[in-house]
Structure 1
Amino acid sequence: MKTVLRCAVALVLAVGPAGLVASPVRAEAAPGWAELAPGVGYRELTVSTPHGDARVYAVRADLRGPGVRADLLFPGAVAARAPLTRLAGARGAVAAVNGDFFDISEEQHPGVAATGAASGPAVYRGRALKAAVPQAQRFGWWPPPGSTDQDVLGVGVDGVARLGRLVLRGHLLAASGVWPLGGLNQYALPVGSIGVFTSDWGEVSRARAACGNDESRSAPCTADTWEVTVRRGRVAAVSATPGTGPIPAGSTVLLGREAGARVLAGLPVGTPVAVDYRLASGEPVPFRFALGAYRLLRGGAAPAGLDTTAVEPRSAVGLAAGGRVLTLLSTDGREGTSTGLTLTELAEAVRDLGCPDGVYLDGGASATLVARDRATGELTVRNHLDHGQERPVPNALGIFAG
């Protein structure tokens, strides 16, 4: 497959590497990148596929440029959503693409509201916002072999973007014992576990965390729960049911289900306790920010088993120049004459833009890319949205300049 796309640092003229499922995809680029800001460019292109032409909208950011950086965008709470134009506009971003898959519907659990919280881990300004829900409780496509619910895309404190995994490590300590934690600000907890909720969670009810199980998102909610509020190192309040409303700064809520509930029920008001947790990456450079994302490319090769049939609007991020250049992209796919892409075609499009590594994000009606017009300063959606409406999202990747 010959390609003619140039992204960031290289012109690629190559046959797809081993591990990338071949398909007759040809991409024709609009001439050049239009400058959004110094170090940040924008372009549109058409990808021809066996099922029709797809329009792709891309933003390239050179993180080596003065003042160019990437960051996590979110509405200020884990369990909250907002349109991408609002998230990007509130922070003054030059461009942004929607982020992680999220808890969008709870039709299987009558009386339980969807939380809107993202599925994967998230880090903001070096602080752990949330950990990953169990794989079976995630929304979106089942990941390709080798991917996990803990996979992320982020930028380290060194300013370099990288792919990684973030695993929750934490404990509840009391005089009666030590117990591992199974969650941090998650809409779903593993069966039998104890989860931590902080002020970062927001106002939404925590009841959804006791629904589903480790094999099925649609499994019934359990009534075997117990909740403990910790302040100043002691149990300050207890409840047999998950609570709702904001959690004050300085307070920590522990929610247990099944075996975890029985542990918490043994900690009456006044009991001294300690809670510690972190998201461990195993990498020498910690993340300054990170969000959940599925692996699409590594070293120019797509993972075996990447889907080749489902055609949908897509969003993705490619990495080039050793993580110092990011390419954000999103597609059309449900409006007009433009088709979407399969994941295999998305991987090829990202690679053809000169990016050997990449991830895919939430797609379908969530797929959105926004960018500012340099002349007017107006922030606009560049791709054609499902029914012409922005779907509110829990997080996003923003690009900043200046």
Structure 2
Amino acid sequence: MKRKIFISLLFVLTVLISPFSGDHFEKAKAAAPVVYWEGMQLVKGQIGKLIILKPVNLWKRDHNNKLVFVRVLKPGEQYRVYQYDSMYGGQYGVGGPYFVTNVKGSVQYKTPSLHKLKLVNPELYRTKLSIGSVTKEESKVIAPGVTQSELSVNSNSGKQEIYKLDVDQKSSQITFETTLAKDQIIGFETVKSMANRKQADGHYVIAGVNGDYFDKNGAPTDLTVHNGEILTTNTTPINERTIFGVSPSGKAMIGNPDITIEMTVNGEKKKLINSVNKRRFAGHIVLYTPYFSNNTGTNDLGTEVVLTNINGKLNGNNTVTADVKEVIVGKGSNTLNKGEWILSGHAAGSEYLKTLKPGDRVEITLTYDKPEWDQVDQAIGGRYHLVKNGQAQSFNIAGAHPRTAIGIKQDGSVFVVVIDGRQSHSVGVTLSELAKVMKDFGAVEAMTFDGGGSSTMVVRQPGDLETSVVNKPSDGKERPVSNALLIVGLWKAGPLHTLLLNPNEITLFAGATYKDLNISVKGLDKANDVVAIKDPIIWSSNIGKFHADGSFTAANKVGKGIITASVGSIKANVTVNLVNTIDSIKLKQNTIVVEKGGSLSIPAEGYFKGQKIVADPAVFSYQVSDQLGKVEKGIFKAGTKDGFGTITVSYGSVKAQLNVIVGNPGSLIIEDFEGDLSNWKATGARYSNVQVMPEKNFVKQGKQSLKVVYDFIGQTGTSGVYAQKITPIEIIGTPKKIGMWVYGDAKGHWLRAQLKDADNKEIQLDFTKNLDWTGWKYVEAQIPAGLKAPYKLEVPIRYMEVNDSNKNKGQIFIDQIQAVY
């Protein structure tokens, strides 16, 4: 008895704490999501792994936390670690009540990255936000030093969806860059268009967000600096704006710099330049560069001086020299040519510029009021300073809206946030709530960019050549804006480093054969940039077999496995789930028409949890009614007799059915008026009364027909009663006529029907223009040639009168509407 107990204990220990063997991996695969680290799969609750360096004891803690010796662990073995505590000098929990003591030199503990731990144990590592609880958080590295996250939050004011980009500027060759809509101050362009227009090898746009507020012409409101050159200066009052900047060394800054620009002519006549690339106001001098537009956009009430031979960069703590090329008085909107600038003045500014003459040397000096902004490389304007010196600010400004913000952490790293708003999935946040969010994310300084419908984040996903919008803009589509802040990688494309397979997990039907698994393969370098795959891709699997023609046959058993794509030594896997059940069968046709002795394919698809998993005809069973033919390998082969019937496709108890017409089936009843007729309705034109109702006395066949009642008395113009189903009658195949039995009232009215073909073309069918009989009579209407099947009978009965002298009342009965082939 004791020996049996000991064997059972060893079996339990082997299952709980065995090294990372194949069996252990199979059990771990049940966890989701699948995350690998150092060749092993991380499982839920795991915080690291323990490598045995020297023999060490495995202990079990009993209910009193006393240690019971289990066995000696051997060097080279590895164990998942789920906890660590300080008992007994420090012990690692390796599953259940089993522990290994932290004996220096005998064990080595390793832990995966925080990013991987978050993926496996999101509830333990989820971000804490003071505006509410984070219900879902997903993160992924999209490029070296750039991580994309999405958080779903239940806040006090409602649901919030937050999109975040973390940028480690210490990572080599990652930088921020401003960009203008269409590379000009005046104009609009979407963030995605701006980002994708800037894509190039050595200049990979990884992501971007919308930037500054703007005026009706698309001009950004405040300071914009691009690659060390001022594109436009501030407009907003100093206490209503905030600027994000990046120094030449890559340091991110949030502040409120202003710049003083002065000019001299031949070393004399110092004069203030009021702005760069802004609207010209009374008495001002404005400096225009080709970044503004194709011309200055000014009126004729001023003077404009064209400068050429420009030397120097337009930035703080800099001096620029230029020569006067031309002085233009009384003419505005002069052309801004490449390599030339224009000084434009009004009133006092105009009088000053009139004193200049061609050949004069102009010197322009620029000075920031905050020295740390001298030579700033990139700058872009915003509005509200959300976090100052680590303190979240409060704002007495009502309204929850979509928001875009940027923050700087204590270590200098930067993150950008977009929050959706004005939608059911995300209501948006107030400025005070946004400040709390930025503080919770670690910002010591943070500010807003433009929000509302402008709030947009674009990201270039690994394997993509261009960016795509990741948030849901409140306009329902991306809004064109004035400028954007881009995150750029300055590396060149490198050699093939990894393979990106899409999808990374598939479900297949056990035993089925697939001509194409539809797995796409892209080659990526170390920076996740797409590179060409020059060598052949070799496919293999441990849960099926690839054939010479590229098709794949899944193993005939339920289970999990992988499909591997290999290019040389570089490999990537797709997880494969094999099932032997389906939820539904979908057929690509609901009706087929086949000549006698002919054949036609019947494509069938099996679905599991809403996903198509099998289209192999060998999986399904087929049953043909009325001995019209047979199905072999998914091909229906018609017999030698005319007829109409059905083909039933099934797997187990799951079935689907389609109609089949072989040869000429004659006539098919498409409406017999039996059962519930509540889905029929009467409408009309110029009538006193119209009705439809079941009729049980005047019946051609079966138990009831349709009674159509009308009263046109006293009406002028074309009158009519229209009887139709709420859902049009669908007609299978390509009939030549529509027929019906009509019990007439001999009132001489016009009997028609309305048909619609597959191109939505409406056709009127005439049964008779003079219904002159009483009692039952069969009538037919010809369907014109050249229409595209299938057809729908939209209005089966249109009983009409165009002659005002024949406006009367009565009733007719309709039965057995049929399609004639």
TM superposition score normalised by structure 2? 0.39
> Which among 336, 346, 352 is matched to residue 263 of structure 1?
352
Question: Secondary structure in 2 aligned to 1:350?
Answer: helix
Correspondence for 1:231: 308
Taking the aligned partners of 2:432 and 2:280, their CA distance within structure 1 comes to 32
Is the alpha carbon distance of 1:190 and 1:178 closer, same or farther for their aligned partners in structure 2, counting shifts above 3 Å? same
- Contact (CA 8 Å) 2:245, 2:380: kept in 1 or not? yes
> Which among 112, 126, 133 is matched to residue 235 of structure 2?
133
Aligned-residue offset at 1:332: 1.3
Correspondence for 1:299: 389
Correspondence for 2:184: 77
Q: Aligned ranges for residues 1-400 of structure 1 at < 5 Å?
A: 25-28=131-134, 30-74=136-180, 75-91=182-198, 92-103=204-215, 105=216, 114=217, 116-135=218-237, 147-149=239-241, 151-174=242-265, 177-186=269-278, 188-189=279-280, 191-203=282-294, 205-207=296-298, 224-232=301-309, 233-243=323-333, 245=335, 247-264=336-353, 266-267=354-355, 269-270=357-358, 272-278=360-366, 280=368, 281-283=370-372, 286-294=375-383, 295-303=385-393, 306-323=395-412, 325-400=413-488
Question: Secondary structure in 1 aligned to 2:355?
Answer: coil
Taking the aligned partners of 2:396 and 2:127, their CA distance within structure 1 comes to 24
Comparing 153-162 with 165-174, which one deviates more in the overlay? 165-174
Q: How many residues align?
A: 346
- Contact (CA 8 Å) 1:182, 1:190: kept in 2 or not? no
Taking the aligned partners of 1:307 and 1:29, their CA distance within structure 2 comes to 29
Taking the aligned partners of 1:49 and 1:90, their CA distance within structure 2 comes to 37
- Contact (CA 8 Å) 1:318, 1:357: kept in 2 or not? yes
Correspondence for 2:772: none
Comparing 229-238 with 91-100, which one deviates more in the overlay? 229-238
Aligned-residue offset at 1:204: 5.4
Aligned-residue offset at 1:290: 0.9
Percent identity over the alignment is 24
Taking the aligned partners of 1:157 and 1:29, their CA distance within structure 2 comes to 40
Is the alpha carbon distance of 1:342 and 1:119 closer, same or farther for their aligned partners in structure 2, counting shifts above 3 Å? same
Aligned-residue offset at 1:391: 1.6
- Contact (CA 8 Å) 2:186, 2:293: kept in 1 or not? yes
Taking the aligned partners of 1:64 and 1:182, their CA distance within structure 2 comes to 37
Question: Secondary structure in 1 aligned to 2:205?
Answer: coil
- Contact (CA 8 Å) 1:335, 1:385: kept in 2 or not? no
* Bigger relative contact order, structure 1 or 2 (CA pairs below 8 A, ≥6 apart): 1
Taking the aligned partners of 1:132 and 1:79, their CA distance within structure 2 comes to 15
Is the alpha carbon distance of 1:86 and 1:226 closer, same or farther for their aligned partners in structure 2, counting shifts above 3 Å? same
Taking the aligned partners of 2:220 and 2:306, their CA distance within structure 1 comes to 24
- Higher gyration radius (CA): 2
C-alpha RMSD of matched pairs (Å): 2.8
- Contact (CA 8 Å) 1:318, 1:327: kept in 2 or not? yes
Question: Secondary structure in 1 aligned to 2:443?
Answer: coil
Aligned-residue offset at 1:326: 1.3
Taking the aligned partners of 2:459 and 2:261, their CA distance within structure 1 comes to 39
Task: Structure 1 unaligned segments of length 5 or more: list them.
Answer: 1-5, 15-23, 106-113, 136-145, 211-222
Any idea what the Cα deviations from partners look like across 1:186-223, whole Å, max 9, x if unmatched? 2x34542211001222225523xx8xxxxxxxxxxxx7
Question: Secondary structure in 2 aligned to 1:322?
Answer: coil
Question: Secondary structure in 2 aligned to 1:261?
Answer: helix
Aligned-residue offset at 1:160: 1.3
- Contact (CA 8 Å) 2:161, 2:420: kept in 1 or not? yes
Task: Structure 2 unaligned segments of length 5 or more: list them.
Answer: 1-113, 116-124, 199-203, 310-322, 492-821
Is the alpha carbon distance of 1:253 and 1:63 closer, same or farther for their aligned partners in structure 2, counting shifts above 3 Å? same
Aligned-residue offset at 1:269: 4.7
Question: Secondary structure in 1 aligned to 2:212?
Answer: coil
Aligned-residue offset at 1:182: 0.2
